[in-house]
Structure formats: structure tokens, C-alpha cells
Amino acid sequence: MTAKTVLIVDDEAPIREMIALSLEMADYRVLEAGSAQAAHSLIVDHQPDLVLLDWMMPDTSGLELARRLKRDPVTAELPIIMLTAKGEEDNKVQGLEAGADDYIAKPFSPRELMARLKAVLRRTTPYGIDEVVEVNGLLLDPVSHRVSSNGKTLELGPTEYRLLQFFMTHQERVYTRDQLIDQVWGGNVYIDERTVDVHIRRLRKALGESHQQLIQTVRGAGYRFSTKY
């Protein structure tokens, strides 16, 4: 299984070192940044699987960086855990509304951090498959994050990719829109059921004539991925 990469963003080097040690002992790859600007460059260049982001930093705050990442389609799906001394409820709400997936108030134990980190990765990486999945010439490679149709690379948005990954690993079963929201977007996200329909349409369009029929609408129930017509 491929090791996950975690970016630690904190302007205090001793805190970064303490967190990095815990992560490395748990076999995570670690990147470090002491500012939002340095963090953004590392995110673009190395595409980490998760960001541990300190709220209070000089120049650009962690909160502003989180908002910037969520506004950019390229990084909008990147999981973020906010690390901060701010423990009040309003601050937690601010962090979550900025797009953070979780929130840990300092001081925290390495054990708590690892538990939160694993939980967020489970939610944001559907079933964490590392094996290539192939159905009738449609191939999904989770390691390279690529999808191809009969050898031709397809361009999918991050949500469409996660939808397809879920469908291809859960074939021949009908899922309601609510179930898809829980499995693909995560139970802590509030979106309209119609949003699911929009992303299904986008996914079918991206799959093209060769494979769009694999995503089937089941009237009054939901959607199903099936090779049976």
C-alpha cells in the first residue's frame, strides 16, 4: 500500500518536528512548511494527501490558506485538519466553514492527532483502494489518479473521480442519492440531492459513448453501476 503524504504547516519549528516524528513513526511521508506561501508551493508541487494547518501564522493565516485552497478546483478536495490554540466554538465553526475537515485544539496528544488524521483520510479517500480497477475497457488507477477509456485518458473533476471510484468498487447495487452523499462526499457535508444528479451527468459526459451506459438510473431509487443492460 502506498504511504500517504502529510504536509505540516506551522510557523513554529519545534511543533512541526514533534508532529513529523509521530507521523514518520506511523509510516507517513512528511512535508513541512513554516508559512502559507511555502505551503501553497509544496501543495502544487507534491500534491500531499492531507494538510495539518496551523491557524495562527504570520502574513497569511491558516484560515485564509484553507479558504484559498477550497476556492481552487485543483485543491478543493484536499483534506485539511486545522491545528490551533483557539478552542472556542465560534473559531471551530469558522475553521469548518472555511473548508477544514476536522479541528484539533492545542495542546493535543500524538495519539489523538493520529486518530483524527486516519479518520479524515478514511472519509476523504473512498475505501483507500490501491489496485487498478478495470471494467469493459474503462480503467481507473488510484495510485496515478488516472482514468482511461480503451487506452484514451479521460479528464474527470475530483468529485466525478471519487464517484466513479466508488461505483467501480461497488458494482451491481443500487445507491440512493443520500447514500452516495454519505459515501462520496462524507457524512459531515450538507449538499442538496440535486447536486448528486449534476455530478452524475458530468461523469457520464466525461465517460463518453463507450462507457456512459455503465452509470444507470434506477427510477424511484437512485443509481447503479452495472455492465448488464
Global pTM reads: 0.56
| DSSP-based three-state secondary structure for 178 | helix
Split into its structural domains, the chain has a count of 2
Angle ∠(186,192,198) on CA atoms, nearest 5: 95
pLDDT, tens digit, 9 for 90 and up, residues 116-130:
888 888 766 554 456
Long-range Cβ contact pairs of 150-159 (< 8 A, separation 24 or more): 150/210, 154/206, 154/207, 154/208, 155/206, 156/203, 156/206, 157/73, 157/199, 157/202, 157/206, 158/73, 158/76, 158/77, 159/77, 159/184, 159/185, 159/199
Same domain, 189 and 169: yes
Q: What's 187's domain CATH number?
A: 1.10.10.10
Which structural domain range is residue 199 located in? Answer: 128-225
185 and 206 part of one domain: yes
Give 57-96 pLDDT, tens digit per residue: 888 888 889 988 888 877 888 899 988 876 665 666 776 7
Please state, in angstroms and rounded to a whole number, the distance separating the CA atoms of residues 164 and 202: 11
- Residue ending a domain, among 101, 124, 147, is 124
Are 166 and 187 in the same domain? yes
Q: Do 115 and 188 fall into the same domain?
A: no
In this structure, what are the phi and psi dihedrals at residue 142, rounded to the nearest 5 degrees?
A: -70, -20
Report the pLDDT value the prediction gives residue 130, as an integer from 0 to 100: 65
Shared-domain flag, residues 132 and 208: yes
pLDDT in tens, 137-157: 999 988 778 899 999 999 988
Domain boundary (80, 99, 124) is at 124
Q: Which is higher by pLDDT, 10 or 105?
A: 10
Whether residues 105 and 197 share a domain: the answer is no
Side chain identity, residue 160:
E
Residues 33 and 100 in one domain: yes
Q: Are residues 34 and 106 in the same domain?
A: yes
Residues 213 and 179 grouped into a single domain? yes
Domain finish residue from 124, 147, 163: 124
Distance CA 74, CA 90 (A): 28
Q: Please indicate, yes or no, whether residues 83 and 149 belong to a single structural domain of this protein.
A: no
The CATH number for 118's domain is: 3.40.50.2300
| Percent of the chain with pLDDT strictly greater than 70 | 90
Q: Where on the phi/psi map is residue 21: left (φ > 0), alpha (ψ -120 to 50), or beta?
A: alpha
One domain for residues 118 and 9: yes
Mark whether 11 and 120 lie in a shared domain.
yes
